[in-house]
Amino acid sequence: MATNYPITQTNALVQTIASSVTVAIANGMQTAQISFSTAAGSFGPPITLSPLQTSAVNVTLGLDTQKLNLAKITFTPAFLATNGAVQCTGNATDANGGNPVDFAGRTIATWQP
């Protein structure tokens, strides 16, 4: 059964940070708009990935003193029998800017073709 777009998935990332991924069809291809937030607000502008730009590296987002450092975030579009996914690796501080926690290969969204 084909996926009806757009789809949005929200998941816990690390610390108090949540990720929100919206996958839509633009110009005939899947795109992912990825944002990060806490109860205090949003971490900067969303990141948009597509088959033309499947990853972003060394992205630092902040909210007051809290930092989210994305060493790499990767978008894999769903195609034929392969599910789509967004994964990220990096670290984040707590709300006071301390106690960094690493995360590696964290899947923050998956969807079927």
pLDDT tens string 41-76: 999 999 999 999 999 999 999 999 999 999 999 999
pLDDT of residue 1: 52
C-alpha to C-alpha distances, 10 to 17, 19, 35, 80, 110, nearest whole angstrom: 11, 6, 9, 24, 11
Q: How confident is the model at residue 34 (pLDDT cuts 50, 70, 90)?
A: very high
H-assigned helices in 22-83: none
If you search the block for the tokens 């499947």, which residue do you land on?
54
Q: CB within 8 A of 45, min separation 6: which ones?
A: none
In angstroms, how far is CA 109 from the centroid of its own chain? 7
Q: How confident is the model at residue 15 (pLDDT cuts 50, 70, 90)?
A: confident
Determine if the peptide bond prior to 46 is cis (ω within 30°): no
